[in-house]
Structure 1
Amino acid sequence: MIASNVLNASSNDKVRARDYSPLALAYIGDGVYEIFIRTYVLEKGNMPVNKLHKASKNFVCADGQAKIYYAIENLLNEEELAVLKRGRNAKSVSAPKNADIRTYRLATGVEALIGYLYLQGNIERIKELVRIGIEELEGIKNEKQ
C-alpha cells in the first residue's frame, strides 16, 4: 500500500516523478492539500463547520491554487518545477466546473507537486510551500479589505 510505504520509506526509497501520471499525483495531492488547509483553518479557532468550510474555500478552489502556483514557481528546484509543469500540462478528461481551463491547469500543477512531495515523504517541503501559499492568499485577501 502506497501510504504505508510513504510512512515507512527510508531516505533511499524515494518515489520518482515519472512513476505516476501527473493526474494521479494531482489526485493524491488534492487530498493532502485539503488536509493541510483544513488543519490551518481549524487551528485558527473552534467554530461551526459551515464557518470552517467558508474559511477554507478560498484556499482550495482552483483560483486560489492558481495564485499559489505563481507564488511558489520561482522557489522550486528543477525536479519540483518539472512536476509542477507536468501537472499543469496534463490533459484532463473532465472539464472544470468553476474555473477557466488555464486556472484549472495551474491548480492541477500545484496539486501534482503536492502529491509528488507527499509520495516522496517530504512533508516539511509541503508545509513550507503551503505556508507560502497561505501567506500569498491571506495577503491578497487583506489587500481587498
Structure 2
Amino acid sequence: MAVDYRQLNGIALAYLGDAVYEVFIREHLLAKGMAKPNRLQHVATNYVSAKAQAALIEKMQEEDLLNMEEWGYFKRGRNANSYTHAKNTNVLTYRMSTGFEALIGYLQLAGKRERLNEIVQWCIMHVEKGDLSRAK
C-alpha cells in the first residue's frame, strides 16, 4: 500500500525525513572510515542537529536551491503544530528543522531519489565546508 504524501501533515513528513536524513549521514560517516560509535554520534550531530538543519535551510534560501513545490513542503513542516518541544534550541530553530525534515520526507515518499540525493549531498558539502553561520 503506497502512502499519498500529498495528504500527510508536516509532522508525519518530518517523522520520516528525520530517519531518512539520519541514514544518509550515518552511511556517509561510515564511508569516511569512522567506526567508533561515540565518535560517529558526536560527528553526526554536526549534520543532524536542529541548529545545523535550520542553517542549511537558510543557506538553501540564499542560494535559491529549492523549487516552489519543495518550499511548500518545507513550510508545511515548519508551520505544523507539534506537541513536542525543542530540547537544546529555540522554537524558531526547531520549527525550521522540522520543515527541513518534512522536505526530506516529501522527497523520499514522492520517489524523487535523485533530487533527494542531490540535496543531501549539497547539505553534506556545506556542513563539511563549515560555512553555516547559524550552526555555530
**Unaligned residue ranges in structure 1 (runs of 5+):** 7-14
Structure-2 separation of matches of 1:142 and 1:20 = 30
8 Å contact from structure 2 (residues 57, 100) kept in 1: yes
Task: Confirm or deny that 1:34 pairs with 2:11.
Answer: no
Q: CA deviation at 1:33?
A: 0.6
SS at match of 1:75: coil
Query: Which of these two proteins has the greater Rg computed from alpha carbons?
Result: 1
Are the counterparts in 2 of residues 38 and 56 from structure 1 also a CA contact under 8 Å? yes
- Counterpart position of 2:85: 95
C-alpha contact 2:10 2:73 (8 A) present in aligned 1 = yes
Task: Give yes or no for contact 2:13–2:105 (8 Å, CA) kept in 1.
Answer: yes
* Amino acid paired to 2:49: C
User: Paired residue for 1:47?
Assistant: 35
Q: TM-score, structure 1 length as denominator?
A: 0.83
Question: Does the CA-based 8 Å contact 2:59-2:132 persist in structure 1?
Answer: no
Structure ranking higher in helix proportion? 1
Please give the per-residue CA displacement for 1:55-107, whole angstroms capped at 9, x wherever unaligned.
11111110011111112232111111111111111121111111100100110
How many corresponding residue pairs?
A: 131
- Where do 5+ consecutive residues of structure 2 fail to align? none
Q: 1:16 to 1:53 in 2, by over 3 A?
A: closer
The one-letter amino acid of 1:79's match is: E
Where does residue 58 of structure 1 map in the other structure? 46
Q: Kindly report the root-mean-square deviation, in angstroms, between the aligned alpha carbons of the 2 structures.
A: 2.0
Letter in 2 for 1:123: R
Q: 1:30 to 1:142 in 2, by over 3 A?
A: closer
Q: Distance in 1 between matches of 2:114 and 2:39?
A: 28
Shift of 1:142: 10
SS of 1:69's partner is helix
Amino acid at match of 2:43: A
